[in-house]
Structure 1
Amino acid sequence: MSKKVDKMMEEKIAQFVGVTGATVKDARRYLDKYKKVEIAVDAFYNEPVQPRQSSIPSASTSKLNDLFNKYKDSDGDDITISGTMQFCQDLSVDPEDVVLLAVAMELKSPRMCEWTRKGWVDGWKALGVDTIPSMKGALLRLRDKLGSDPEYFQKVYNYTFEFARLPGQRSLSSDMALGFWAILLPHGLQGGALAHINPRSDDDDAMIGVEEEGWREEYSDWWSEFITERNIKGVSKDTWQMFLEFVRTIDAKFEKYDPTAAWPSTIDEFVEYAKGGTVRFSSHLS
């Protein structure tokens, strides 16, 4: 029983450290007092005086190599599909969870379900973790950052195109693109990373102080329907990247969209699709 309790505490400490960057000593102190990780983390951030760890914890190269060897193909040098599935199971994370896109960028994964030893070791060391429990903590931190940090969201979003594109292909298949939009957009909208940006001109006096609503969740469904109905086969890198800017800056009624600007034609056509006088569009904006 004692060994089981010690193991549970070790996992809690690793998660606490992964989220807060605190020392193991401070993690144990908060967990002894508050028991549950979520409550302890909340207390850590809300107490007026907190001994914070200023640097990223050091991670063991040998431990990371041992973990890599556990998951890599027996007849190859990389971790591929089977190892990735086992890794996700050990992390208790769905293989289609959006946070794994952030992990893919941090570990420089060359493509889906593929991890190199160098990327694995360097990436996890940069995050300061070297065990499954501490990696679980790092995933909590990355999930929050991906949802709330616009700059980080954009980095992961842009990396996703390269990561998901098939070797030798210049575009991303529409099915693949829609799948990634379906997990990225809701996460960014809910966390604030895709909060509306409303650029104003100097003569926009009448609008100063007025909060404009931008992209809505249902618009993501319209975008998916548009891509499917128009039978668009592939999404170019330009369309992928510009779509993110479009989502962040478009007004709720699409009234300020400038068709003469350098938007990809796919986005031009989508705006016409959305503004085409449909009952659906009018009812949502009334």
Structure 2
Amino acid sequence: MRRSVSRKTGQTNSTDATDLFRSASSKASSKEMERIDNLFYSYANKSSGMIDPEGIESLCSDIEVSHTDVRILMLAWKMKAEKQGYFTLEEWRRGLKALRADTVNKLKKALPDLEKEVKRPTNFQDFYAFAFRYCLTEEKQKSVDIESVCELLGLVLGSQYRAQVDYLIEYLKIQSDYKVINMDQWMGFYRFCNEISFPDFNNYDPNLAWPLVLDNFVEWMKAKQT
């Protein structure tokens, strides 16, 4: 009988310890979320209840990053932000909790790791697609103007594919067939930079399912090279 009592007592102690750990963990998580919320409200517009472009500029100033820096776009991706230039409380919580950043200093320190995370091949394509969707600011909008696309290409692909991107931007600015770019064309630009030998285009086959704008770009490039 004593053994039975002893075993039960041991189980009770173990359960108590687990409960205490869970309680402490829950309190810590609750405190972290409270700090994340407080940080949000320090930048949020009181009337809209969201962080607006002005709030984002203040945030950028505090973390010492330009509002045009690609890392701000990466932060928006991490939050799964839906509206360009705005962060909701839910988006803010999602992003900062994932980054384990409940202070400005922690957020600043989290940016290099976020950059590495985005640049992993498994994540980059998703980020690249997000960057385009984030520019669709009007309801039912499906395309982005050439000027904005050129800026975005430089921002998200420029560091990895500088030569291709520079020529592609040059071509897009001088051509007159396209005033806007859609998602299919946008994703084609990434595939092209990632897969096609440059600047000889040896493995480019116009008979494959490439957007016509890229067929035209390759023709333009080859004409420049002759």
* Residues 1:271 and 2:213 are matched in the alignment: no
Alignment of 1:91-110 (within 5 A): 91-110=63-82
Q: Where does structure 1 differ by over 4 angstroms across 4 or more consecutive aligned residues?
A: none
Query: Corresponding residue for 2:137?
Result: 166
Deviation at 1:166?
Answer: 2.0
Residue 183 of structure 1 aligns to a residue whose secondary structure is: helix
- Where structure 2 has 5 or more consecutive residues not aligned to the other structure, the ranges are 1-27
Scaled by the length of structure 1, the TM-score of the pair is 0.65
Query: Corresponding residue for 1:242?
Result: 188
What amino acid sits opposite 2:63 in the alignment? L
Deviation at 1:101?
Answer: 1.5
Query: Corresponding residue for 2:87?
Result: 115
Name the % identity.
Answer: 28
Residue 186 of structure 1 aligns to a residue whose secondary structure is: coil
> 1:122 and 1:185 mapped to 2: Cα distance?
26
Query: Corresponding residue for 2:202?
Result: 255
- Where structure 1 has 5 or more consecutive residues not aligned to the other structure, the ranges are 1-56, 190-216
Alignment of 1:80-229 (within 5 A): 80-147=52-119, 149-168=120-139, 169-189=141-161, 217-229=162-174
Q: Any idea what the Cα deviations from partners look like across 1:85-115, whole Å, max 9, x if unmatched?
A: 0010011101111111211111111122110
C-alpha RMSD over aligned residues: 1.7
Q: Any idea what the Cα deviations from partners look like across 1:213-252, whole Å, max 9, x if unmatched?
A: xxxx333221111111113311100001121111111012
What amino acid sits opposite 1:109 in the alignment? A
> 1:112 and 1:179 mapped to 2: Cα distance?
15
Query: Corresponding residue for 1:76?
Result: 48
The structure richer in helix per residue is 2
Scaled by the length of structure 2, the TM-score of the pair is 0.81
Deviation at 1:144?
Answer: 2.9
Deviation at 1:146?
Answer: 3.0
> 1:74 and 1:118 mapped to 2: Cα distance?
16
Count how many residue pairs are aligned between Structure 1 and Structure 2: 195
> 1:86 and 1:113 mapped to 2: Cα distance?
12
Query: Corresponding residue for 1:65?
Result: 37
Q: Any idea what the Cα deviations from partners look like across 1:118-154, whole Å, max 9, x if unmatched?
A: 010122111211111110111111123334x122221
